[in-house]
Amino acid sequence: MSTEQLSPPESRPLAGLGSLLGLQAGFVAGAALASTLAAALGLVPFFAVARMATAIYATPPQLEAVRSLALLTAAALALRYGLLAATNVLAHVSAFRILHELRVRLAKKLGAVPLSLYSRRGPGELKKTIMDDVAQIEGFVAHHFPDAVTAMVVPPFTAAALLWVDFRMALACLVMAPLAALAMMIAMRDVGKAHEQWNDIQSRMNTSLLEYLRGIHVIKSFGLSARHFGDLSRSIEEGLRWMEGFMRTNGRGYGAFGALIGSSLVVLVPMGGWLHTRGSLSLESLVLFLVLGPQLLMSLMRLMFAWGNVDRIKGAHARVQLLLHAPELEHPECSAEPRHHGVAFHDVGFRYDESGAEVLRGVSFQAAPGKVTALVGPSGAGKTTLVRLVPRLWDATQGRVELGGVDVKNLPLDAVLSRISMVFQEVFLFHGTVRENLQIARADATDEQLDAACRAARAYDFIQALPQKYDTILGERGARLSGGEKQRLSIARALLKDAPVLLLDEATAFADAENEARIQEALSELCQGRTVLVVAHRLSTIATADHIVVLEAGKVEGQGTHEGLLQSSELYQRLWASHSDALGWSLGEVV
């Protein structure tokens, strides 16, 4: 497959389209050539019919000439249909190859960009780009591009041939063209802005639909339906209003354009008859213009629609190119080797975008190798953001995040990720088997290794109770498992990876008492001998941590051991007091 680089988004649609089609230049050129030759052969029957009229009305009738012309027409049509079949095959092969290459590039790109891209562009917009926009490009290449080339090449040759036969009738063929063009200009006014509006509506509709499907259990629990789900309902109604408005504004213009394009016979019949009766136009030429003349304007209509398709594809192509050329995480030109498995933050600052507020400011501390370092603080203090800077899910906007004494930005991303295991509160499981979800961490893991990891994670028993054990399909987002079971499976995955650095973010946040105990046992097993950076609201789970860092409003308010912070940090004292009060709370108690 071609490795040619796509050009960045351009204001000239044909330039960008050329780079896109260049991905499969041979197949695309072959489809365009076959389509053009097929269209040219499609003109043969019209010339043959005109000659037949002369042969039939000759005295005596020239039947042999009629038979020869009929055979010529049949051969031309047979060859034309063969070329059309070749056009269809070549166009679809090139379209699907382009579709495949674009989606592979986009998938790789999404793995190389920082998470800031996902915060700027929602899941609905990204889904539309990767699926809908690429599918629109595929449809254009497969169905519209050969026709577009034909529409640009054939009309000039047809017009030249008719002008050579009789310039008066050729001009008569085109007399309706200015009026048709005026109607089309009216129909297409502000069409670019209308397409942008439609794209925005579709993006919102995609995002709302994803939210609706993810929250269907909540929606059903309140007795709601899609009609009553605000964002989805509004986006659907907005799409309906857009379509109604578009048809009111542009429908009449399109209708007038089609009527005028098809009305050339209104001029050709009386003018041709008058010229023929005066003896200045032969019967053969009259018949030729009557059968071929309307096709000239029809080919101009195809040219207009072809340009409209190019204009529509411009938006889809620009969005694909914008994503393909999104800035990636920085990659070092030369890499150093981490000297140990400790993690350090030096004067780290972070903001989600350039104009946004600072989420982290001047954060400095060390997570010593083989020790447990806990991050505590009120909601919004920046704990989760800080943890996600280590595997470069985000990049610090100032300061340094170090792994083994080396700035993570100076390490290859694969080298960073190979040293880190992550267990977050929101466990993501793929629609596949238990085995496939575990082997994401280690593709060559044996059954014995899977058993060992699952036993350590307290997940072995419930996996063995599943219908096909490791080969049981989990369903969408692990629907067959409870929240605690999903969390223990994610811990088994981290154990299987056996990385020296472990990041934990609220790993027991949503667990019930029984599952929390099992998860804590599994986490204790997982933390052995590793550098652990853990985020937790339940302070009892991290009171024995080797080092505790207290965060408030993105800054370090204090750090030390549990006992030391109870003496030196007012915020930690308040957090511990609130935690202790919560342990004594019960349902129905007046406080």
Could you tell me if residue 213 is inside a domain? Answer: no
Burial class (CB in 10 A: 0-12, 13-18, 19+), 217: exposed
Asked whether residue 320 falls in the same domain as residue 430, the answer is no
CA–CA distance, 115 with 503 (Å, rounded to integer): 17
Alpha-carbon distance values, 42 to 49, 304, 401, 427, 552 (Å)? 12, 20, 68, 61, 76
Residue 557 has pLDDT above 60, yes or no: yes
Asked whether residue 353 falls in the same domain as residue 488, the answer is yes
Asked whether residue 310 falls in the same domain as residue 415, the answer is no
The answer for 446, left when phi > 0, alpha when psi is -120 to 50, beta otherwise, is beta
Please identify, among 297, 324, 351, the residue that sits at the C-terminal boundary of a domain.
324
Could you tell me if residue 336 is inside a domain? Answer: no
Q: Count structural domains, the chain.
A: 2
Determine the pLDDT at residue 34: 87
50-64, 88-102, 282-296, 501-515 — which is least confidently predicted? Answer: 501-515
CATH of residue 530's domain is 3.40.50.300
With residues binned 3-state (H G I as helix, E B as strand, rest as coil), the percentages for the chain, rounded to 5, are 65, 10, 25
pLDDT tens digits for range 108-139: 887 777 766 666 666 667 777 777 778 777 87
Could you tell me if residue 72 is inside a domain? Answer: yes
Asked whether residue 478 falls in the same domain as residue 547, the answer is yes
The confidence band for 586, taking pLDDT boundaries of 50, 70 and 90, is very low
CA–CA distance, 79 with 37 (Å, rounded to integer): 9
Asked whether residue 364 falls in the same domain as residue 510, the answer is yes
Question: Domain containing 282: what range?
Answer: 13-176+262-324
Angle at 368 between CA 366 and CA 374, to 5 degrees: 70
Residue 577 has pLDDT above 70, yes or no: yes
CA–CA distance, 335 with 348 (Å, rounded to integer): 21
pLDDT tens digits for range 486-528: 888 888 888 888 888 888 876 555 455 555 566 666 667 667 7
Residues 6+ apart with CB under 8 A from 479: none
Q: Percent of the chain beyond pLDDT 90? A: 1
Asked whether residue 312 falls in the same domain as residue 357, the answer is no
Report residue 373 as tokens.
């370092």
The residue-averaged pLDDT of 524-537 equals 76
47-56, 137-146, 178-187, 287-296 — which is least confidently predicted? Answer: 178-187
Residue 4 has pLDDT above 50, yes or no: no
User: What are 401's strand-pairing partners?
Assistant: 345
Asked whether residue 302 falls in the same domain as residue 399, the answer is no
Asked whether residue 373 falls in the same domain as residue 495, the answer is yes
Could you tell me if residue 204 is inside a domain? Answer: no
pLDDT tens digits for range 418-476: 888 888 777 777 777 888 888 888 888 888 888 888 888 888 888 888 888 888 887 65
Asked whether residue 295 falls in the same domain as residue 425, the answer is no
Answer for the pair 170, 159: CB distance below 8 angstroms, yes or no. yes
Could you tell me if residue 250 is inside a domain? Answer: no
The residue-averaged pLDDT of 547-573 equals 86
Residue 11 has pLDDT above 50, yes or no: no
Of residues 307 and 478, more confidently modeled = 307
pLDDT tens digits for range 356-407: 778 889 889 888 888 888 888 888 888 888 888 888 888 888 999 988 888 8
Report residue 285 as tokens.
């030429």
Instruction: Name residue 303's amino acid.
Output: L
Work out the mean pLDDT of the chain and round it to a whole number: 75
CA–CA distance, 202 with 403 (Å, rounded to integer): 43
Of residues 19 and 107, more confidently modeled = 107
Asked whether residue 352 falls in the same domain as residue 450, the answer is yes
- Got the DSSP string for 239-284? HHHHHHHHHHHHHHHHHHHHHHHTTTHHHHHHHHHHHHHTTSS-HH
The confidence band for 347, taking pLDDT boundaries of 50, 70 and 90, is very high
pLDDT tens digits for range 395-427: 888 999 988 888 888 888 778 888 888 887 777
Determine the pLDDT at residue 590: 46
Q: pTM for the complete prediction? A: 0.60
Residues 6+ apart with CB under 8 A from 185: none
Asked whether residue 555 falls in the same domain as residue 480, the answer is yes
Residue 194 has pLDDT above 70, yes or no: no
Q: Where are the beta strands (DSSP E) in 383-527?
A: 398-403, 406-407, 420-424, 501-505
Could you tell me if residue 202 is inside a domain? Answer: no
Q: Percent of the chain beyond pLDDT 70? A: 71
The residue-averaged pLDDT of 547-556 equals 88
Burial class (CB in 10 A: 0-12, 13-18, 19+), 525: middle
Could you tell me if residue 251 is inside a domain? Answer: no
CATH of residue 152's domain is 1.20.1560.10
Answer for the pair 502, 494: CB distance below 8 angstroms, yes or no. yes
Asked whether residue 436 falls in the same domain as residue 478, the answer is yes
The greatest distance separating any two alpha carbons of the chain, rounded to the nearest whole angstrom, comes to 122
Determine the pLDDT at residue 591: 43
Could you tell me if residue 198 is inside a domain? Answer: no
Determine the pLDDT at residue 7: 47
